Structure 1
Amino acid sequence: MKVNIGIPDKHLQAVANKLQVLLADEHVLYTKTRNFHWNVVGDNFSEMHLFYEKQYGELAEIIDEIAERIRMIGHYSTGRMGDFLKLTNLLEQEYTNKQTEQIKYLLDDHETIIRFLRELITEFSDKQKDLGTSDFVTGLLRQHEKMAWMLRSYLSK
């Protein structure tokens, strides 16, 4: 059924397209975080294992919210890994079990997403006239800023 929420179809399509990229970024970051959770080593293994688990749990919730937002505005969500890899702004690095490298990789990804979210906030509100989705991504921005802060705190010694 067609969505009639006061936003032209072409604007909703543009918003959905950008949200698909964000969904891809979140999936790639989720997968990296999960990989580091599985492969972390060190004298603080238990702490980092739980830390990564908490972060990928938060990312799983974000992924679900983004996919549902895409559906709310009348579009289908991307759900195949190949599509995510084509759409993402993130890069895959070599495998590592070195905590400092893992944390730096995750921090870089969060900061990439944060910069993208900042662009989306104004694009969605000003250009696409979708204040609801602009507000939605503003909330995601705060979540990513907090996760980035937590990662950054491990590097500030």
Structure 2
Amino acid sequence: ATFIHPYNNYYIIAGQATAAKELLEDISDLDIVMAPVGGGGLLSGTALSVRYSDSSAEVYGAEPKLVDDAYRSLKSGKIESNDRIDTIADGLRTMLGEKTFDIIQKHVHEILTVEEEYIIQAMRLIWERMKIIAEPSGAVPLAAVLQYPDVFKGKKIGLIISGGNVDLQALPF
């Protein structure tokens, strides 16, 4: 058997890059493309898709404030870990890998941290208005837009909303 890392692997990153590639093929004039960040595979792929496209969009990452290792890693210049893991966005509890961190350092404009209440609001909005079943981790980019409206005012934004793994019994609404 061969172990394939779930996010710190160039083939996985390339595969996850296709989400942003498809987004940019449909809407090429975005100002910002934002993806959630846990281990960094999806955000790294998003950053590479934007970098190697004709787009001039800036790439943002979004993560829960309770597990803000990617934010802290960009600030410190080294991979940071999390002491806590108690966020509703459980898919983002993992820390960055060496490969993903390198790509994120080079190609991501900023990582925003979001409060739990905004993650819940975003998830509910996605479910009720868009009729999309999105797990809390996938709702984090929209949570960033809700929490930081001034950052995005007047901007054309593309959000990567990923994942549908939801325990219906654990929903906060």
- Report the TM range for the smaller structure's normalisation: under 0.3
Bigger Rg, structure 1 or 2: 1
- Structure possessing the higher relative contact order (Cα contacts under 8 Å, 6 or more residues apart): 1
Please state which structure has a larger fraction of its residues in strand: 2
